[in-house]
């Protein structure tokens, strides 16, 4: 790597690390909502419900990651917990997108799988993703509790949610870093409760 490239990389790293640290220093602003959501997820599973998760792009990966931690394990060996990432079935996703449009991808699955007593974790860094907002509204209509994970301001998503964790940043990469941290906190809280 040339010296100029190395210096550029070091500078970008330092900037990203500084942004990350400043955001994480502010995450305590979300503590009440994070705690409230953790308790809601515990109650969902305790009462025989399931946790549905959805998101687009990196948030889709986060949904799958969290569902895996709940079904398999986070840190402890314990019974499997009911969690489904709505981002994983390519046949459903492509058929729904083709037949009904991209905005229905997750709402259609929530309609099929969601029952009163379940919880939906709806992830959108901007809070503006039409398909995530549509899934959240469908969940609300069905009596499914909606927990939103979004960025600063919460966008259109936050008002649809029962609980919204609005990470205090508009920088997508930093918001995603905070989202996976919050999802890990929830996985740990749920696992400690059932482990």
Please check the confidence at residue 6 and state whether its pLDDT lies above 70. Answer: yes
What token pair was written down for 2? Answer: 């040339």
Please check the confidence at residue 8 and state whether its pLDDT lies above 90. Answer: no
Residue matched to tokens 């499914």: 144
For helices 31-46 and 172-194, the axis angle rounded to 10 degrees is 40
For helices 130-142 and 105-113, the axis angle rounded to 10 degrees is 20
Can you give the pTM of this predicted structure?
0.95
Whole-number pLDDT of residue 9: 87
Please check the confidence at residue 1 and state whether its pLDDT lies above 70. Answer: no
Q: Give the Cβ contact number of residue 136 at 10 Å.
A: 31
Class in CATH terms, 30-194: alpha beta
Tens of pLDDT, residues 135-191? 999 999 999 999 999 999 999 999 999 999 999 999 999 999 999 999 999 999 999
Whole-number pLDDT of residue 4: 78
Taking a C-beta distance cutoff of 8 angstroms, is the pair 144, 110 a contact? yes
Domains of the chain by residue range: 30-194
């Amino acid at each position: 790597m040339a010296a100029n490239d190395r210096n550029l990389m070091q500078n970008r790293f330092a900037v990203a690390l500084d942004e990350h640290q400043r955001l994480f220093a502010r995450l305590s602003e979300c503590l009440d909502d994070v705690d409230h959501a953790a308790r809601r997820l515990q109650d969902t599973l305790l009462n025989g419900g399931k946790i549905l998760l959805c998101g687009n792009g990196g948030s889709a990966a986060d949904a799958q990651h969290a569902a895996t931690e709940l079904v398999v394990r986070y840190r402890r060996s314990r019974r499997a917990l009911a969690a489904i990432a709505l981002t994983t079935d390519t046949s459903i996703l492509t058929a729904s997108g083709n037949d009904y449009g991209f905005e229905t991808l997750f709402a259609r699955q929530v309609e099929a799988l969601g029952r009163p007593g379940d919880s939906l974790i709806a992830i959108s860094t901007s809070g503006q993703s039409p398909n995530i907002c549509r899934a959240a509204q469908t969940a609300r209509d069905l009596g499914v509790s909606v927990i939103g994970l979004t960025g600063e301001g919460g966008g259109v998503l936050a008002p649809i949610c029962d609980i919204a964790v609005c990470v205090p940043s508009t920088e997508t990469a930093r918001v995603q870093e905070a989202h996976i941290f919050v999802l890990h906190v929830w996985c740990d809280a749920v696992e400690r409760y059932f482990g």
